[in-house]
Amino acid sequence: MTTSLIHQIKTFLEETDNDFTPPGSARTDLAVYAEKMARNAAVFASYDAGKMVAMTAIYCNDPSCRIAYMTLAAALPEYRRLRLVSGLIQTAIEYLQRRRFKILQLRIDHGNDRAFRLYRSLGFWVVQEEPQGYLMELTIAAQPPVSDQAHYARHC
């Protein structure tokens, strides 16, 4: 982890803060949140001219339970129509498959219809309604080990 990554995440959080209801800064200190993600999460990001323009962060640091948690998925407004977030989530899912995780969870606030539709299109389901929103889950399909994939490719 570098201070550069912490700074990039913090800047990104500040630039997308008002895209969330309530804003992230109303829930937590963005500098502390950025450092926590840089230290503890798998961070997947898209850059344009060296600037972070989309990001997904997933906590997957307890492989014994095989459940990962997506804490953030967002893009700067001018990059949203490029579907960067859905691509980053797909990359994160593939990362979790390789590490044999079974479930990816996230929480979404009531009224965040655009994000709700995105997560549903990626296969997430509501597993619990909560006072502020929903707990959603995606069952991650097992990916055969690399050696099995190579064997399959050679014999098909």
Residue 87 has a CB neighbour count (10 Å cut-off) of: 14
- The total number of residues shown for the chain amounts to 156
Residue 26 has a pLDDT of 92
CATH class of this structure's domain 3-154: alpha beta
Q: What residues pair up with 48 in beta bridges, in sequence order?
A: 51
| CA 54/CA 88 separation, integer angstroms | 8
Each residue's pLDDT tens digit, 95-124: 999 999 999 999 999 999 999 999 999 999
Count the alpha carbons within 13 Å of 126 in the hemisphere toward its beta carbon.
Answer: 11
Q: Could you tell me the pTM of the whole model?
A: 0.85
The strand pair at 42-48 and 133-139 is best described as unpaired
Residue 30 has a pLDDT of 97
Residue 101 has a pLDDT of 95
Q: Which residues of the chain have pLDDT under 50?
A: 148-156
Residue 62 has a CB neighbour count (10 Å cut-off) of: 11
Residue 84 has a CB neighbour count (10 Å cut-off) of: 22
Residue 125 has a pLDDT of 97
Residue 11 has a pLDDT of 97
